[in-house]
């Protein structure tokens, strides 16, 4: 229903603030289930979970090391993948491939 929808950016941000929770251990603020994951990490409930050293987001489950590594790049600003055709750099290899297909089609080797 349209009456249930927030009508302005101010009401959206106040709704997000109402849904945010503060961890009683590290006092970081999280939205949704991230707070529960973070608290579980502190209490040892989340087995073998990894936590971001910058924002304390918790990564558990399949591919947790890779997801943490990719996530950490957003904090460090590192862009390890360099375009061979121009100075462009990308955080993820997939994004570099998209860049090359979009801008350097004519320079790609034909197969």
Decide if 97 is inside a domain.
yes
pLDDT tens-digit profile, the chain (111 residues): 444 544 555 555 555 555 677 777 777 777 666 666 666 666 666 567 788 999 988 888 788 899 999 999 999 999 999 999 999 999 999 999 999 999 998 887 776
Range of the structural domain that residue 103 is part of? 79-111
Decide if 5 is inside a domain.
no
Decide if 28 is inside a domain.
yes
Shared domain check, 23 and 57 = yes
Helix spans in the chain (H): 9-19, 33-43, 64-76, 93-103
Decide if 12 is inside a domain.
no
Shared domain check, 85 and 48 = no
Shared domain check, 87 and 61 = no
Contact call for residues 6 and 30 (beta carbons, < 8 A): no
Give the pLDDT score at 47. 60
User: Which DSSP state fits 5?
Assistant: S
Shared domain check, 70 and 36 = yes
Give the pLDDT score at 6. 46
Shared domain check, 110 and 66 = no
Shared domain check, 69 and 85 = no
Decide if 102 is inside a domain.
yes
Decide if 37 is inside a domain.
yes
Distance CA 31, CA 53 (A): 18
Cα dist from 59 to 37, 52, 94, 104, 111, whole Å: 8, 8, 21, 36, 40
């Amino acid at each position: 229903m349209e009456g249930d929808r927030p009508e302005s950016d101010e009401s959206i941000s106040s709704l997000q603030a109402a849904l945010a929770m503060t961890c009683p251990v590290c006092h970081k603020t999280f939205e949704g289930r991230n707070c529960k994951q973070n608290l579980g990490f502190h209490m040892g409930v989340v087995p073998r979970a990894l936590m971001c050293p910058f924002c304390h987001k918790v990564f558990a489950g399949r591919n947790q090391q890779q997801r943490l590594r990719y996530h950490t790049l957003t904090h460090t600003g590192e862009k390890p993948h360099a375009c061979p055709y121009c100075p462009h750099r990308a955080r993820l290899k997939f994004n570099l491939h998209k860049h090359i297909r979009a801008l350097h089609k004519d320079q790609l080797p034909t197969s």
